DNA sequence: CAATTAATAT
DNA sequence: AATATTAATT
């Protein structure tokens, strides 16, 4: 199970070429194919994975050769099975009983990519419904012949050019949830990053956000000179940190159920309606069903950080 | 090496 | 304005 990661974030998504696209398969779930090797990289169906000699040497019965029909049948089965059962969090094992919630809210956390080549308001939202790949969103044209250093060859290889991360409300919420779980005192970039379990999210992404978040908390805590009536409206009284008890690490007992932490595809997507979540920055305790702070800004959660 | 913070860059 | 990056410090 756990895999770790000490490593740095790697980019191992995309590259889902146009692995064929005969429109004959209506049941096809493109989403699942992203990142998978294409047909040419896979062992042909008729070829046994284990050579006969090896198989006999280890007393294993060689698998029967499969046909495309077998594959198709298996696909149908899998699809129909998954159709009725919502995906249960597969990657929640990281911390024991941490996020045992299978979750109804299949969260879609989206990354927004700011096209580096452009200025100003140029964030591109990638629709999860489309076969659009992140790389497609970042490349203006597509040379028919991949250059030696073509990013598509091996995105996981050092790809220093990571697109600028946009902290969408979903991502931010995940961040907040994790920090709350850890306790503000224990929440450090690496751990947060791991717990957030967002594909492509780097430690420095988190560190940067965390720094900002802490500044925000600081402001909240010591409002020395009570804020001008003008910036009062956005933030109702939200005691920033665990105020009641001397600060300790309360990693257990989360006041509210965390959304299941599932692997989040780097470019998921959120329907255009996504800005509905009020990002109250209550670090420790929550706001859950109650519509506590409805600061409702249209632009990301920034309204919450903003001083005004 | 990782974390923190402040400063600075894009 | 939001994030990234860097430098200095722990």
The predicted-structure confidence for A22-51, as pLDDT tens digits, reads as follows 334 445 555 555 666 555 455 555 556 555
Which strand C nucleotides have any atom less than 7 A from protein CB atoms? 1-6
**Per-residue exposure over A263-289, b if at least 16 CB sit within 10 Å of its own CB, e if not:** ebbbbbbbeeebbeebbbbbbbbbbee
Confidence of residue A108 (pLDDT cuts 50, 70, 90): very low
Shortest CA to C1' contact from A218: nucleotide: B5
According to the model, what pLDDT value does residue A110 have?
Answer: 47
Rounded Cα distance, A166 and A139, in Å: 19
Q: How does residue A192 score in pLDDT terms, banded at 50, 70 and 90?
A: very high
| Nearest of A265, A284, A302 to residue A106 by alpha carbon | A265
**Residue A280 above 70 pLDDT?**
no
Structure confidence at residue A220 (pLDDT): 86
A189-CA/B3-C1' distance, Å:
8
A114: CB within 7 A of chain B nucleic strand: no
Kindly report which amino acid residue has its CA closest to the C1' atom of nucleotide B5.
Answer: A211
Per-residue pLDDT, A174: 96
What is the spatial distance, in angstroms and rounded to an integer, between the CA atom of A100 and the C1' atom of B10?
Answer: 40
Residue A182, CB, strand B, below 7 Å: no
| Measured CA A164 to C1' C2 distance, in angstroms | 10
Q: What's the mean per-residue pLDDT of chain A? A: 55
Q: pTM value?
A: 0.48
Share of chain A above pLDDT 90, in %: 18
Protein side of the strand C interface (CB < 7 A): A 162, 164-167, 204-205, 207-209, 211-212, 299-300, 302-303, 305-306
Q: What is the pLDDT of residue A162?
A: 86
Helix-then-strand count for chain A, H and E: 8, 3
Residue A89 (CA) to nucleotide C9 (C1'), in angstroms, measures: 41
A219 Cβ within 7 A of any nucleic strand B atom: no
Mean pLDDT across A56-78:
56
Q: How far is the CA of A119 from the C1' of B4 (A)?
A: 31
A208/B8 CA-to-C1' distance in Å: 14
pLDDT score, position A271: 35
- Strand B nucleotides below 7 A of a protein CB? 2-7
User: A273, A278, A308, A282: which is closest to A294 by C-alpha?
Assistant: A278
Burial of A258 (0-12, 13-18, 19+ CB in 10 A): buried
The model's pLDDT over A150-185, given as tens digits with 9 standing for 90+, comes to 545 555 566 668 899 999 999 999 999 999 999 999
Summarised one tens digit per residue, pLDDT across range A74-105 is 666 555 555 444 443 333 334 434 443 333 34
Q: In the predicted model, what is the mean pLDDT of residues A123-152?
A: 37
| Closest nucleotide C1' to the C-alpha of A186 | B3
- Helix or strand or coil: residue A201? coil
Between these two residues, A196 and A226, which has the higher pLDDT value? A196
Nearest nucleotide, CA A190 to C1': B2
- Choice between A242 and A30, residue whose per-residue pLDDT is larger: A30
Gap from A122 CA to B10 C1', in Å? 14
Q: Kindly state the helix (H) or strand (E) to which residue A81 belongs, with its residue range.
A: helix A68-84
Q: Say what the pLDDT of residue A47 is.
A: 53
Pick from A239, A242, A168: nearest CA to A209: A168
Angle at A91 between CA A9 and CA A185, to 5 degrees: 65
The C1' atom of B3 and the CA atom of A207 lie apart, in whole Å, by 9
* CA of A17, C1' of C3: distance in angstroms: 31
Look at residue A222 and tell me whether its pLDDT is greater than 60.
yes
Return the pLDDT at A154: 57
Mean pLDDT of A231-248: 41
Q: What band does A289 get if pLDDT is binned at 50, 70 and 90?
A: very low
φ, ψ of residue A198 to 5 degrees: the values are: -110, 125
């Amino acid at each position: 199970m756990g895999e770790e990661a000490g490593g740095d974030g790697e980019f191992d998504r995309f590259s889902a070429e146009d692995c064929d696209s005969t429109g004959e398969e209506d049941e096809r779930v493109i989403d699942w194919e992203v990142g998978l090797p294409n047909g040419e990289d896979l062992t042909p169906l008729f070829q046994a994975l284990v050579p006969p000699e090896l198989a006999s040497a280890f007393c294993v019965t060689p698998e029967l050769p499969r046909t495309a029909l077998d594959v198709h049948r298996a696909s149908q089965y899998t699809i129909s099975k998954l159709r009725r059962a919502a995906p249960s969090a597969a990657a929640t094992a990281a911390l024991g009983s941490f996020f045992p919630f299978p979750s109804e809210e299949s969260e879609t956390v989206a990354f927004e990519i700011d096209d580096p080549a452009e200025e100003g308001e140029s964030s591109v939202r990638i629709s999860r419904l489309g076969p659009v790949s992140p790389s497609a969103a970042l490349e203006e044209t597509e040379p028919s012949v991949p250059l030696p250093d073509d990013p598509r060859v091996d995105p996981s290889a050092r790809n220093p050019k990571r697109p600028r991360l946009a902290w969408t409300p979903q991502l931010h919420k995940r961040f907040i949830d994790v920090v709350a779980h850890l306790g503000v005192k224990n929440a450090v970039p690496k751990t947060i990053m791991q717990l957030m379990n967002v594909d492509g999210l780097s430690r420095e992404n988190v560190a940067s956000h965390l720094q900002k978040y802490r500044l925000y908390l600081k402001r909240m805590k010591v409002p020395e000179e009570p804020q001008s009536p003008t910036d009062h409206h956005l933030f109702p009284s939200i005691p920033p940190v665990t105020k009641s008890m001397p600060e300790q690490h309360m990693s257990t007992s989360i006041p509210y159920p965390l959304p299941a932490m599932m692997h989040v595809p780097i470019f998921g997507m959120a329907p255009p309606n996504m800005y509905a979540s009020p990002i109250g920055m209550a670090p420790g305790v929550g706001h859950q069903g109650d519509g506590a702070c409805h600061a409702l800004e249209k632009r990301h959660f920034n309204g919450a950080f903003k001083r005004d």
